Structure 1
Amino acid sequence: MTREVDRPPVVRQLRLVVEADDHDAAVAFFRDALGLPEEAAFAGDGDARVVILDAGRATLEIANPAQKRMIDEVEVGRQVAPRIRLAFEVDDARTTTERLIAAGAEQVAPPTVTPWQSLNARLDAPADLHITVFEELRGPDERAAYDGSGAEGDQPPPTRR
């Protein structure tokens, strides 16, 4: 579906609001370990606190149940994801995965090359969030030309270390 060029976007920002029982641990994980810059922080009565982290460009990926099952199967080998899973594009999925595990995440699946040519790792993170960190293994031009099917003859590139 192509968006009209002369029509301004209606939505300016996607903001996901997550309740975290251990606010400090969640902030330390996502801000300090994952590296999301702090955009703002506010405090209110009764120890009310919120930290807004900049996660770069946001998209909303809506998958049907069959697609969700297929992604779990490819990335993990079994069904594990809840209805909502956060995915963060990073420059180095292996190093980021190691850093997040050291910061308290539980590895669900190690970095795995997917048929759509990204290196994806699954983790259970603070605030009861199930996350993917992924590294694109092809440049934007290569991704645009790739159909993503993983068909024979379209082999994945060697994984980066």
Structure 2
Amino acid sequence: MPVRQLRLVVTPPTTTRPCIFYRDVLGFDERDAVQSPGGRVVLLDAGQAALELAEPSTAEDIDEVEVGRRVTGHIRVAFEVDDAHATTTALAAAGGQLLAAPRPTPFRSTNARRGGPAGLQLTLFQMD
């Protein structure tokens, strides 16, 4: 049976800061939110999803291009945005750690790297 949806499930201490970061700053639509006795789950629509599999040497090359050194663990989340510079600035105001400012890449894109809530590393890319 074909997969119908890809979800990246992240477990932050609370959903407050990640909602500000992803929903309010990056503009993800809130699809659903469920409050249970044990906590809260928020489902944010991140647009089209893809599973990118990069061998370790290629992941190292991507880190070198985007950041100038190896910084990523085994998971990195990449978001295509309309304006990598403006989005990077907006995420800084929301508490995203700057790992690398937007820069042109050999991939025909402008990429930036940010640290996001719950320990995620984010690539913001704008197709050139």
Q: TM-score, normalised by structure 2?
A: 0.97
Q: Which 4+ residue blocks in structure 1 deviate beyond 2 angstroms?
A: none
Contact 1:22 1:127 in 2 (8 A): no
1:16 pairs with 2:8: yes
Q: CA deviation at 1:45?
A: 1.1
Gaps of 5+ in 1: 1-8, 138-161
The structure number with the bigger radius of gyration is 1
The equivalent residue for 2:44 is 53
Q: CA deviation at 1:50?
A: 0.6
1:126 pairs with 2:122: no
Q: CA deviation at 1:131?
A: 0.5
Q: CA deviation at 1:22?
A: 3.2
The equivalent residue for 1:140 is none
Q: CA deviation at 1:116?
A: 1.0
The alignment yields a C-alpha RMSD, in angstroms, of: 0.9
Gaps of 5+ in 2: none
* Distance in 2 (alpha carbons) for counterparts of 1:23 and 1:41: 10
* Distance in 2 (alpha carbons) for counterparts of 1:77 and 1:112: 11
Q: CA deviation at 1:127?
A: 1.2
Correspondence for 2:78 among 87, 94, 99:
87
Q: Which amino acid aligns with 2:54?
A: A
1:102 pairs with 2:89: no
Q: Which amino acid aligns with 2:96?
A: A
* Distance in 1 (alpha carbons) for counterparts of 2:15 and 2:120: 13
* Distance in 2 (alpha carbons) for counterparts of 1:112 and 1:22: 32
Q: Which amino acid aligns with 2:25?
A: A
* Distance in 2 (alpha carbons) for counterparts of 1:66 and 1:72: 10
The equivalent residue for 1:62 is 53
* Distance in 2 (alpha carbons) for counterparts of 1:136 and 1:124: 21
User: Which one has a larger percent strand, Structure 1 or Structure 2?
Assistant: 2
CA offsets per residue over residues 130-151 of structure 1, 9 Å max, x none?
10110000xxxxxxxxxxxxxx
1:39 pairs with 2:38: no
Moved more, 22-31 or 52-61: 22-31
* Distance in 1 (alpha carbons) for counterparts of 2:83 and 2:18: 22
The equivalent residue for 2:102 is 111
